[in-house]
Every structure is written in structure tokens, then in C-alpha cells.
Amino acid sequence: MRDTDPELSVVVPMYDEQEVVPMFFARMRPLLDGLGPSYELLVVDDGSRDATASLLLAAADDWPQLRLVRLLRNSGHQAALSAGFRRARGRYLVTIDADLQDPPEVIADMLTAARERDVDVVYGVRSDRSADTWVKRTTARLYYRLMCRLVGREIPFDAGDFRLVSRRVVDAVNALPEDGRVFRLVIPWLGFPSAEVKYARAERAAGATKYTVSKMFRLAFDSVTAFSAAPLRLATWLGLLGGLLSVGFGIGALVIKVSGQSIPGWTSTVLAVCVIGALQLLCLGLLGEYVARLFQSSQKRPKFLVGYDSLEDPGHQPLVRETLRA
């Protein structure tokens, strides 16, 4: 980091949010001005079709810390966050949506937790989701349970994309070569020390939600296919299961043949079908395993990340690897 870089970067992805922009700024500016450390408010306009960009440019005239990054086309929420991670300069980075369902005032608690507990990630966890519909709460629980199985470690339930991360995390995420990353999975997978700050989720302040049912299913699909080779491994296990069943059917056909209860030609037909089917399913499973290895190799994720080296930083205590909960 350079000496002129801000202490805090707040990244806000926006798409067609002209109704909520004035309310968002009315709460965000006094909060950031009163925090103390230098900051930048980096708004990523995800190809909005309304007056969102015009409102942002007008506000930036008398707000020097406000910075606008506009994408040429609508690329999606996670892509807008990736653009923010690439462009942000702060020692700490906070990501938050503009709809005010996640209260900006929690940023102060996140910053305090990061400093006092010496952690690299502070998750904003929704302790009260009564403002969401029953369908939204239920699908969210199912999503997080599935993601825990895929990531292979505990990830905070009801923690969306409202979080604080340190520059170390930002650099680690930006170093990942894979496209289509899902931040709520990638960041827990990295394994940096973390803490949680709980808050009550509010209703959307204005405008319409951009996360429709189809987009939620798309996020779940992207989370599974972009992060895990589990679907390919499922093909492997199904191939093995099919091969075993084929062997069982073949043995059954031979038993029926020996007992004299089969009609002429039936046993040979069943055996031929079972052998060919078993070979096809086993080859399909083997092919799926090789494709899974190619998929994991193409992601080029690091096998490990060093959190502390006493030779490089002898005056600093080793970082605690377990999650600290507020």
C-alpha cells in the first residue's frame, strides 16, 4: 500500500438503484465521515439502465471520497464485487449492497472487531431475518447447508456479501485465476482468521429487489459448479453403482440359466447387456474423475496459504486459526 491510500474502502455494487441512492448516501456519508480513518466509497455501477450513474457523478462533485467505477454492461453481482476488489485501495475493504437491508452502521463494529481481535475477516451475520419471506429464509438455510458440505469447512449461516476483509484477503482473492468466483464461498475457503458481527436485517429501503428467484437459483448453480467437482464425482459413484448392479444382474441371469427356468437366448442377451452396460458406466465414471481433476487444475487455487512466519515477523504473535464469534 502507498501512503496516500485510504485506510478503508467500502465497495458498493449497484444496478438500477436510482430510488435508493439518495437514502443510501444520507446514511453512509455521515457514518464514514465520523469513523475517523481515511476512506473511499467505491461504487461499482453494474451497467445500470436508469439514472444511477448520473446520480453518482452528481454526488461525487462535492464528495471527494466517492469514486465511481462503471462496467460497460450488466455483468452480475459477483462480477461487480470482483471489479471492486480489483480497484479498491484500502487496508480494509467492506462490501455492502445499496438497498439498506444491511445497516451501514455495522461497519464501525466490523472495523473494531478486526482491530481488537486481529482477524482478517469479519462476517456480517443476520440474526433476525423476519423482514424476509418464509420462502427466502428456507431456501437460504438449504443453500448454506449445501455450501458447507461443498466447501468442506463451516461457513457462517445467514452471512451474505456484507463483510469486512483485510488487504491480505483482498490480495489472496485477486491472485486466484479462476473466473466466476462466488465470494461467500471463496473467502471462507481461504481460511483466514475471522469473527462475526450480528445484526437485524431490514426491509429494502426503496426500489425492487434485483435478486429474483431465477437469479437465486443461478447463484446456487454457480456456487456448485464453479466451486466444487461434486457433480462430476456423483457421475463417478453412479458409474460404480451401475457397474455393481450390472454384475448382480449377470449373476442372477446365470442362476436362472442353471436352474433351467430361462427361455432360450435370454441368458446370453442379459449377460451381454449387463457386461456392456457395466463397462460403459465404469468408463463414464472414470472419465468424470479425469474431468474433475482437469477442472480443479484449471482453477489453480493454492494448496496452502501461510498465515505467519516467525522469521519474517518475529514481533507478531501467530494468528489464531479458529473462528472467533461475537
Lowest-confidence range among 87-96, 193-202, 316-325?
316-325
**Distance (Å, rounded) from C-alpha 309 to C-alpha 311?**
5
More confident residue, 160 or 187: 187
Lowest-confidence range among 7-16, 92-101, 254-263?
254-263
Inter-CA distances, 319 with 66, 164, 305, 307, Å: 34, 17, 13, 7
Lowest-confidence range among 52-56, 66-70, 103-107, 180-184?
180-184
Dihedrals φ, ψ of 195, to 5°?
A: -140, 170
Strand-by-strand arrangement of the 159-166 sheet:
66-70, 39-45, 8-14, 92-95, 159-166, 121-128, 194-200
Determine contact, residues 10/65, Cβ cutoff 8 Å. Answer: no
What single-letter DSSP state applies at residue 157? T
How confident is residue 111, by pLDDT bands cut at 50, 70 and 90?
Answer: very high
pLDDT at residue 153, as a whole number: 58
Which CATH code fits 8-227?
3.90.550.10
Q: Grid coordinates standing for 84? A: 471492486
More confident residue, 241 or 299: 241
How confident is residue 62, by pLDDT bands cut at 50, 70 and 90?
Answer: very high
Mean pLDDT in the chain? 79
Q: Grid coordinates standing for 68? A: 465511481
pLDDT at residue 201, as a whole number: 83
**Distance (Å, rounded) from C-alpha 85 to C-alpha 163?**
13
Per-residue model confidence as pLDDT tens digits over 7-40: 999 999 999 999 999 999 999 999 999 998 999 9
How confident is residue 277, by pLDDT bands cut at 50, 70 and 90?
Answer: confident
Burial 101-127 (b: 16+ CB within 10 A, else e): bbbbebbebbbebbeeeebbbbbbbbe
- Output the pTM of the full model: 0.70
How confident is residue 322, by pLDDT bands cut at 50, 70 and 90?
Answer: very low
Listed by start position, the domains of the chain span 8-227, 230-299
Angle between helices 213-227 and 183-190 (to 10 degrees): 30
**Distance (Å, rounded) from C-alpha 218 to C-alpha 229?**
17
**Distance (Å, rounded) from C-alpha 256 to C-alpha 267?**
8
